[in-house]
Amino acid sequence: MEDIPTDHTRPPSELRPCDTDLGTSGRIPPPMAPEKPKKKTPWYNQPLWVGIFILIGTFAIQQWGWKDQQKFIAQQSKVTATVARAEATTEQVTQAVGKALTASASIVGAHEARVNKSQLNEAIDSYHQLLREWDQSEDLLKLRIRTSFPVPPIESAWTSLLDQLGELDSEVTRLDKFNTTDTSDAHLQQIDHCRKIIKDIEQQLTVVTHLMTEHINATLTDQK
């Protein structure tokens, strides 16, 4: 039997690359560098924490928006209530002054029409009734005007209106010394004087209510 040569018996020139671990170079390969450990992802960059941060941020934004919305609604409600009170006060002033003028005009009208004593007494009773209603509402109106319209122009116009109403009451009372059938110049002049004051009060009432309306509109504009 023929001997099969081994790697140990074959000369180096007959060795194939696959027959040795040294490869074709015939040199020992350098040792491989150890693999660097993978860099650990920071905890705050991990998907779970990123999701949590997003949820927290979204919730915070929603809460801020909700609080801001509630604040806006509260402000709007406050303005709405303020405007409603101011409008109610304007209407009450108009009605109350209107009644006071009606009371005085009824007496002046009785003298102009030269009514009899019985009719004059009815007019006087109505006059006193309406004036009692005015006296009961005057203090409340003053308070509401100070609360709803705390501005000098309105307060000044309102004070002038009250002064004119006081003057009218005094001048209407002076008609008592005249008989309704009296045709004297003094009687006619007193009637005309009362009529003039009534007209002045109507004009002043228009000024007051106009200023009140402007104030209300300005309040609404400031909130837009």
User: Domains in the chain, start-ordered, CATH in brackets?
Assistant: 80-212 (1.20.1420)
| Measured distance CA(18)–CA(10) in Å, rounded | 14
The residue type at 125: D
Q: Is 155 exposed, middle or buried (0-12, 13-18, 19+ CB in 10 A)?
A: middle
How many residues are present in the chain? 224
DSSP, collapsed to helix, strand or coil, labels residue 212 as helix
Per-residue pLDDT of 199-210, as tens digits, reads: 999 999 999 999
Q: Which residue from 204, 199, 196, 208 is spatially nearest to 149, judged by alpha carbons?
A: 208
Cα–Cα distance between 81 and 138 in angstroms, integer?
A: 23
In this predicted model, what pLDDT tens digit does every residue of 77-108 receive, in sequence order? Answer: 777 788 899 999 999 999 999 999 999 999 99
